[in-house]
Amino acid sequence: MTEPLDVTALLSELSLAEKAALCTGEDFWNSVGIARDGQVLVPAVMLTDGPHGVRKQAEDADHVDLEGSVPATCFPPAVALGSSWDPELVHRVGVALGEESRAERVGVLLGPGINIKRSPLCGRNFEYLSEDPLISGVLGAALVRGIQSQGIAASVKHFAVNNQETDRMRVSAEVDARALQEIYLPAFHRIITEADPWTVMCSYNRINGVYASENSWLLIDLLRGQWNYPGLVMSDWGAVRDRVASLRAGLDLQMPGGGARPVDAVIDAVTAGRLDPADLDRAVERLLRLLNQVLPAVTQGGSYDVDAHHALAREVATDCAVLLKNEQDLLPLDPANAGAIAVIGELARTPRYQGAGSSLVSPTRLDVPLAEIERTVSGSNTVTFAAGYPIDETGDAEALLAEAVVAAQGADTVLLFVGLPPAAEEEGFDRTHLDLPADQLALIDAVAAYNDRVVVVLSNGSAVALDGWQDQVSAVLEGWLLGQAGGGAIADLLFGLAAPSGRLTETIPRRLADTPSYLNFPGEQGQVRYGEGIFVGYRYYDARQLEVSYPFGHGLSYTSFDYRDLRTTVTGAGDELAVEVSVTVSNTGQRDGKEVVQVYLGQPGSYLQRPARELKGFAKVALAAGEATEVTIRLTAPDFRYFHPGKDRWVLQGGDFTVAVGSSSRDLRLHAGITVDGEYVGPELTADAPFEDWLADPIGGPLLLKAISKDGPFDVAADRMMLPTPLRVIANFPGAPITPEELDALVVAANG
Ligand code: BGC
């Protein structure tokens, strides 16, 4: 076991040049080590991607050389992991990722990615968990805790407001304060305060004009000041433009490194008095503390059980796939009585199980759905295969389609694998539409014309349009990208060896034109305006009362669940508010299953506009057929607050809230109303505020009425036009009931 570094001693011992060197990487994947006279003073540490597997490249490989990393378990990417709605399961994945990192002597695993899915077009949505900040934060925290339980640092990325790939290294996300606080930052905040990630990675983009890597509001005022974050902030790879400016703004470690220029720039800036040496010392101190956190595990190393991790990847994948539709309970199929099964679609033979880019893992092995289905079906039942379409530009689409039609005609049931080909979604690019490739759409039409028992299995890293084809098929299993063991998980689900329990963490819209960011994605001329504000995902579809293909939270199982006895208990007020929401859930079907109980809050009378409902709590419960259980979800003050941009702080406005509990954001089974104590929130009382705002205020209203009733009672109703008129305008009228001087005194008194 290595001795911990003596941080205080090192800070006084290290030279300016050594300190400057430490704050930039050694190369693509390692931090700088410092040795003197053959003695290691500060060891180096390796950082690698992340997030759903360890992508450790050869020492000399660069960033763009994405192939050829050491074998590692490819767990389901975030798009799938999110759909599990299961923090315990996600924690286990984190533990496994930590073990593999340790075995590879990697000190920092670059993940999780927790950016909000603002548009289904974002090319990197497969690396992100949800359109909702609560689920992103809860599952992100579980992953971080798991990874770090093994002595390996997680790196929560990409901080912040990195929601598209188009122009990602430059674009300015123009986002208002409320959307920032309520949608784009809470997952980071939750993870930082609940899971203590040892590192955070800042994003490439600008936020309201300022690069994240140089954004002192983001990295110092908010992260350090308000959130008390003690860990290290590193840059995304290449996100630093000006090393000195970034250090000053709180960016501790620039990655990658490899050149003398940034180091010299820091030395020069300190020498010339342009950079406070304390800024440099703070960054070095955080790096040294990180080394103390990870070096014991990295030095010790370890090994992991490849088979057990593969089995875990399969278990997790099984809980991530989402059964969207299952007419006449076509699924599950009986493996002993399935008849003639036609498996159609190249994706059944050449699975897509992860996305392309920096997260690309070399899997330890790969389960192929077709082989797993063949293995599962028993007795005299048969499985035939037809590719149906080419997965890339090569291949004779027409001939493949004709062959698939023949297979469909002769089959009792068709298992039709369609989805996005690898080139359709990857890091660095956004999609431009939501459709499946045209040859796959033609295949669905053709197959469905000859067989009325068609089950579609989807492989895609982000929502695709289902409108126009899903009515022709009986069942749809959204398989997302399920990781290296997804093939086995799909076979288990189709044949009932496991029950589907995944739920959507992103809405599946009917059309691209319905999506919240449609008019503002991906922006132009270096800017993207977040015009939909807080109305992201289901918050938007609900506000617009738009039909969607499948709502946020949706997912079927092979059984049914009943909800009854909703009870709410409110205790405390303001910051001490606590609300318990209890409900009894029973499995009313014939099979075991898992239900995700979701609790949504709304505040119809809030002073500032709020979404009709927002997810504030959830619990995944396993129930055997016939079993019932009471589920209790605890809400606290932050769940009730909204961000008030005028006051520049969160407010808990007292009043009535709606509590809705159910199986999806649009399958709400039980409702209750509660009243909570909180602050009064109303218009600001200034001299320029209108008469009616003053009247409505519990303090300002009586004060105003008293002031203007000096010469007898003032009849407000007599002059409606007065109501929207600013008090200052009224005070300036000849013969007004209040003078400008009295008004100034009134403003002071009302704001006491
Ligand atoms: C990605 C990060 C990744 C890093 C290192 C960047 O391009 O945005 O998510 O961790 O490269 O590969």
Tell me what pLDDT residue 459 has.
Answer: 98
Least confident range from 163-177, 327-341, 387-401: namely 387-401
67 pLDDT band, cuts 50/70/90, is: low
Taking each helix axis from N to C end, the angle separating 87-103 and 306-320, rounded to the nearest 10 degrees, works out to: 150
pLDDT higher for 65 or 500? 500
661 with 581: CB under 8 angstroms?
Answer: yes
Omega into 522 within 30° of 0, i.e. cis?
yes
What is the C-alpha radius of gyration for the chain, rounded to an integer number of angstroms?
Answer: 29
- Ligand 1: centre distance to CA 459 (Å): 24
Q: How confident is the model at residue 720 (pLDDT cuts 50, 70, 90)?
A: confident
**Range from 125-139, 228-242, 652-666, 706-720 carrying the lowest mean pLDDT:** 706-720
Distance in angstroms between the alpha carbons of the first and the last residue of the chain = 62
| Reported confidence tier of residue 62, pLDDT bands at 50, 70, 90 | low
C-alpha to C-alpha distance for 542 and 535, rounded to whole angstroms:
9
Residue 186's pLDDT band, with cuts at 50, 70 and 90, is: very high
Token pair 């159609």 in the structure block, residue: 344
Mean pLDDT value of segment 460-488: 98
Q: How far is the CA of 436 from the centre of ligand 1 (A)?
A: 27
Active site residue 236: yes
For 347-397, write each residue's pLDDT tens digit.
Answer: 999 999 999 999 999 999 999 999 999 999 988 999 999 999 998 878 899
In the set 49, 132, 167, 236, the catalytic residue is 236
Q: Output the residue whose Cα is nearest ligand 1's atom 7.
A: 237
Per the model's pLDDT, the better-predicted residue between 716 and 704 turns out to be 704
Ligand 1, residues 236, 361, 427, 429: which to mutate, most atoms within 8 A of Cβ? Answer: 236
Cα angle: 76, vertex 78, 82; to 5 degrees:
100
| Cβ neighbourhood burial of 751 (10 Å; 0-12, 13-18, 19+) | exposed
Cβ atoms of residues 643 and 178 within 8 Å: yes
Q: How confident is the model at residue 60 (pLDDT cuts 50, 70, 90)?
A: low
User: Which letter does DSSP use for residue 721 in this model?
Assistant: G
Tell how strand 508-509 and strand 413-419 pair up. unpaired
Nearest CA to ligand 1 atom 12: 358
**Three-class SS of residue 748?**
helix
Q: How far is the CA of 469 from the centre of ligand 1 (A)?
A: 36
Compute the mean pLDDT over every residue in the chain, rounded to the nearest whole number: 96
- Taking only the tens place, the pLDDT of each residue in 519-572 is 999 999 999 999 999 999 999 999 999 999 999 999 999 999 999 999 999 999
Ligand 1 atom nearest the C-alpha of 55 is 12
Q: How far is the CA of 127 from the centre of ligand 1 (A)?
A: 11
pTM: 0.97
User: Ligand 1: residues within 6 Å at CB?
Assistant: 49-50, 63, 110, 157, 236-237, 358
Query: Which residue's alpha carbon is nearest to atom 4 within ligand 1?
Result: 237
User: Ligand 1 atom closest to Cα of 49?
Assistant: 10
Of the chain, the percentage scoring pLDDT greater than 90 comes to 93
pLDDT confidence of residue 61: 63
Lowest mean pLDDT among 413-422, 423-432, 715-724: 715-724
Read off the tokens for 229. 């974050």
pLDDT of residue 73: 98
> How do residues 430-473 score in pLDDT, each as one tens digit?
999 999 999 999 999 999 999 999 999 999 999 999 999 999 99
Share of the chain above pLDDT 70, in %: 99
Q: What is the average per-residue pLDDT within 145-166?
A: 98
- Nearest residue (by CA) to ligand 1, atom 2, is 236
Largest CA distance in the chain: 100
Q: How many CA atoms lie within 13 A of 540 on its CB side?
A: 26
Residue 322 and residue 338: Cα distance in Å, rounded?
Answer: 22
**Who's near 383: CB < 8 A, 6+ residues apart?**
341, 342, 343, 370, 373, 374, 377
C-alpha 356 to ligand 1 mean position (Å): 12
- Predicted confidence (pLDDT) at residue 752 exceeds the cutoff of 90: no
CA–CA gap between residue 423 and residue 414 (Å, rounded): 26
Query: Which residue, by CA, sits nearest to atom 3 of ligand 1?
Result: 358
Q: Report whether pLDDT(211) > 60.
A: yes
Query: Which residue CA neighbors atom 8 of ligand 1 most closely?
Result: 236
Determine the distance separating the centroid of ligand 1 and the alpha carbon of 203, expressed in angstroms.
9
pLDDT in the model for residue 718: 72
Q: What span, in angstroms and rounded, lies between the C-alpha atoms of 491 and 374? A: 9
